[in-house]
Structure 1
């Protein structure tokens, strides 16, 4: 993929993920929460530009720093997201202001790492950005799934006496 397509894919995924986090939504612990991060990582690692061929050691160190920032950002985002159980037993999630603050700090730190690499003369491809986004989403999803599962399989409240039983006079033979 070209660099422009990579940037557009990254921007679309980021906008989609962040926009979905502003509203409360039920979380399904059985779904494949890891699929999108794995696909993003596979696309990122498929590209040859993850490391600068002229400065392999420096670009690898910078990539490790960027991935560390991404993983810490994902963990912070996952732990600052509100998780609760509704009366019907469904587990819900919504990002808090603190969670958005963690994301903002993570983005600023990654931009700073990118700027540091540019000052040092390292060529950085959008693959590193996509790999970091995949790491952030993977860690956040894992933490949210673990937190949602810790609520247990909450059963809906039991009906009152006779609840759910149809009266005999309405039954048809």
Structure 2
């Protein structure tokens, strides 16, 4: 895929994910939350330009730094989401102001890494951003699902009212 196509896919996923995160929604723990990250990751890894072969070490280092950053930010994002049990026992979630701050922080880190790569004349493929998005979404979903399992179950009497 071209860099423009990759960026459009990333932008569309970002808009979709952020909009959904800021609304109250039911957590479907049975949902296959790993499908979108798997698709994004597969698309990204198909790109032979994901590493700049003229600057392989620097390019690989920037890719690794970006992936470490999204691992951390995915965890932070997963912890900023508010979780609670509804009266029917289902788990509800909603993003908070801290969620927005986590997104802003992630964007700042990604822009910083992109700036470093540009200053070092390393070509950076949009596929590296797509791979980062895949890792970010997967880690966030893992954290949220793990936190949801730790929530206290709704007492049976609460369900009767």
Give me the TM-score of the superposition, normalised by structure 1.
0.88
Larger helix proportion, structure 1 or 2? 2
CA separation of 1:85/1:159 partners in 2, compared to 1, >3 Å: closer, same or farther? closer
SS at match of 2:53: coil
Unaligned stretches of 5+ in structure 1? 161-173
Deviation at 1:158, TM superposition (A): 5.1
- In the alignment, the residues of structure 1 paired with residue 39 and residue 102 of structure 2 have an alpha-carbon distance, to the nearest angstrom, of 24
2:90 maps to 90
Deviation at 1:159, TM superposition (A): 3.6
Deviation at 1:99, TM superposition (A): 1.4
Query: RMSD over aligned Cα, in angstroms?
Result: 1.4
SS at match of 1:87: coil
Contact 2:59–2:122 (CA<8 Å) still a contact in 1? Answer: yes
SS at match of 1:138: helix
Contact 1:88–1:155 (CA<8 Å) still a contact in 2? Answer: no
Give me the TM-score of the superposition, normalised by structure 2.
0.94
Matched, 1:113 2:99: no
Unaligned stretches of 5+ in structure 2? none
SS at match of 2:13: helix
2:36 maps to 36
Contact 2:33–2:141 (CA<8 Å) still a contact in 1? Answer: yes
CA separation of 1:126/1:158 partners in 2, compared to 1, >3 Å: closer, same or farther? closer
Tell me the matched-pair count: 160
CA separation of 1:26/1:129 partners in 2, compared to 1, >3 Å: closer, same or farther? same
